[in-house]
Amino acid sequence: MTNLQHIIIADDHPLFRGALRQAVEGLFSDASIHEAGTLDEVTASLDAQPDTDLILFDLSMPGARGFSGLMYLRAQYPAVPLIVVSGKEDPLTMRHCMELGASGFIPKSMGIDVMREAIDAVLGGAIWLPDDYDPDAPIDDETANMVARLSTLTPQQVRVLMMLSEGLLNKQIAYELSVSEATIKAHVSAILQKLNVDSRTQAVIAAARIEAGQWQGTTAGGDTAN
């Protein structure tokens, strides 16, 4: 590839960002690389550089819990390829990432040469996964259904769900997002409907269990949507 590549390396560990930078620079000596340590820094970089070619994204960093950051970026910036680079290397984590729109998955235990192979493949329009990736990793129907439901949330609904998971009240979320409390109530109601749960507590529990690979269903009850 001869065009200048714009790549975001998103990881809250500077040493690992350095390893990823080394991998990228081994492919493209003149690449434009932006490093981000939080989800807010990732979105700010994407807004400033809308023609970004690739995001290398760690699932766990400030502002992102489990798959929430991936869900938000896929919904908000669907045209930008994203490779998850994670220390969680179990088959279900990989499968969920791909179902939620990732273009590839690089385990952090992989060497730089493998990272370069993955980056080059995805920039070339391919999907890249480790050789031991199992697309048929066992997953119960309820988990698969909830992952599919989570993927239907809009970017703003994902942000609201993330803030609910942090324990924020509607008025606090409204303040953070610079919208009315009524707007947040509408988002919460839509989230509950899309996830097919009865309360905001159940929505948070559902998302948390998916992230931990421990989904076992929710039960009726808990606090109300508003």
- pLDDT tens digits, residue range 155-200? 889 889 888 888 889 999 999 899 999 999 999 999 999 999 999 8
Q: What is the pLDDT of residues 14-44, one digit of tens each?
A: 999 999 999 999 888 888 999 999 999 999 9
Closest to 188 (Cα-Cα) out of 177, 176, 196, 200: 200
- Looking at residue 6, the DSSP 8-state letter turns out to be E
What mean pLDDT is predicted for residues 112-140? 87
Q: Where in the chain is the domain with CATH 3.40.50.2300?
A: 6-123
Q: Which CATH number fits domain 6-123: 3.20.20.450, 3.40.50.1820, 1.10.3210.10, 3.40.50.2300?
A: 3.40.50.2300
pLDDT band at 3 (very low <50, low <70, confident <90, very high): low
- Whether residue 133 has pLDDT greater than 90: no
- Fold classification of 141-212 (topology level): Arc Repressor Mutant, subunit A (1.10.10)
Q: Where in the chain is the domain with CATH 1.10.10.10?
A: 141-212
> Which residues have CB under 8 Å from 51's CB, separation 6+?
6
208 vs 129, which has greater pLDDT? 129
Q: In what helix (H) or strand (E) does residue 12 lie, and over which residues does it extend?
A: none
pLDDT band at 222 (very low <50, low <70, confident <90, very high): very low
What mean pLDDT is predicted for residues 118-133? 92
